[in-house]
Amino acid sequence: MNSASINFAADNTPFDEPKSIYEIQAESILEILNKAGLQTKDIDGLATNGVERFSSVGMSEYLGIKPKWSESSFLGGSSYLTFIKRAIEAVELGYCNVAIVSYGSNQRSAKSRKLGGVIEDHTPQKYFEYSQGILSPLSLYALVAQRAFHEWEINSEDLAEIAVLARKHALLNEKAFTFGKKELSVDEVIDSGVISSPLHKLDCCLVTDGGGAVLITNDDISKSLNLPQIKVKGFSQLDTHISYSQMPNYLITGAEHTSKQSLVDAKMKLDDIDMLQVYDSFTITVLSTLASIGLDQPKNIIEKIKSGYFSLDGELPLNTSGGGLSYCHPGMLGLLLTIEAVNQLSNNFDNRQIDNPSTALIHATGGVFSTHATMVLEKVM
């Protein structure tokens, strides 16, 4: 069995004009193929979703390929970390040789995202949780935040610090939706207006178009093409619930299990990690995730944010692109978190490159902390 790795990663935000989901994905795929010296006919594995009912099949037809391996299951925001892991397994087992994991969404320009979210009529949560007119998932994350205020003794100003940090990083990212704007202040986050108490507008992720892709090959091919190699050293996924009322713990989530297991797989500890890329659908998502992976107590995490611990030049840089809060959130963020980590590990940036990183921990979540996936990456020296 041959070893496999992530060889290239690319995003394609922002856009000067509206594009279809197919166009968004194809642009990123063609970019990484061009960098690698490959062509579309070389692709024999593809993972994607959110394109159409038969997502991987439809995208394959658009590209003019007939993959031997494909994947298009749906786990919300954590889907793409699981896709990458499964693509690597497929390459290592010989099911395919060149796999692409791609995602794209035009939800902003197509105006397909509704404030109330997606509520399916046949589900129990439709009758037992959404019947009071809540906004999904916003109001449910707001309930998590309200619980955090009570148990962790934090407040809106504390959560606002997370949005302030995200904007600082996004201002160095030319592809960020908020690039060219100004730094945020805590007061501006609070003054942006309550959307679902206690969450304000700037506590919530962006609604943008966007997408990206990663290229995965076996070591023989990557060496013959002189491609960079980023290894997945640890991985874990966990599904815990779909109904909010069935959530095992409203503050410490499945990230506790998946982060621990992925670090065990990687034979590493948190102290061995050079950067964190974690899902930030809301400010509370970040705080809950960092607490769940065991970084520190919540109030101490907030103090670390204020002190610069998570800044680009800090001890443990966090969401270096600006994340879903300030860079881009096209509906599912997991692939873009991975792309940022791969590019940082490959030293592809100028003004926002962190100092010689060799490892990264990525965590993505779907639903309301319903699905979890954690991945530990390491660059081959």
Tell me which of 180 and 115 has the higher pLDDT. 180
pLDDT value, residue 129? 83
Dist. CA 131–CA 274, nearest whole Å? 44
What is the pLDDT confidence band of residue 381, given thresholds at 50, 70 and 90? low
The mean per-residue pLDDT over the stretch 61-72 comes to: 98
Among 358, 83, 93, which residue's Cα sits nearest to residue 230? 358
Q: Do 184 and 164 form a contact (C-beta atoms < 8 A)? A: yes
pLDDT value, residue 127? 80
pLDDT value, residue 118? 73
CATH number of 4-110+208-224: 3.40.47.10
Among 138, 207, 220, which residue's Cα sits nearest to residue 178? 207
Q: Do 92 and 45 form a contact (C-beta atoms < 8 A)? A: no
Q: What is the CA radius of gyration of the chain?
A: 20
Mean pLDDT of all residues belonging to the chain: 95
pLDDT in tens, 7-38: 999 998 666 788 999 999 999 999 999 999 99
The mean per-residue pLDDT over the stretch 259-267 comes to: 98
Domain ranges of the chain: 4-110+208-224
- Distinct helix (H) and strand (E) counts, the chain: 12, 11
* pLDDT above 70 for 43: yes
Dist. CA 97–CA 123, nearest whole Å? 40
Q: What is the pTM of this model?
A: 0.96
pLDDT value, residue 333? 95
Ranges of H-type helices in 129-239: 138-152, 156-170, 186-190, 219-224
* 62-71 burial: b if 16+ Cβ within 10 Å, else e: bbebebebbb
* pLDDT above 70 for 1: no
pLDDT value, residue 134? 81
pLDDT value, residue 116? 63
Dist. CA 160–CA 61, nearest whole Å? 44
* pLDDT above 80 for 92: yes
User: Would you put residue 180 in left (φ > 0), alpha (ψ -120 to 50) or beta?
Assistant: left
Element (H, E) at 55: helix 55-63
pLDDT in tens, 298-308: 999 999 999 99
pLDDT value, residue 310? 98
* pLDDT above 80 for 256: yes
- The CA–CA distances, whole Å, from 204 to 179, 186, 245, 326 equal 17, 14, 22, 10
Element (H, E) at 231: strand 230-239
pLDDT value, residue 14? 66
Q: Do 46 and 216 form a contact (C-beta atoms < 8 A)? A: no
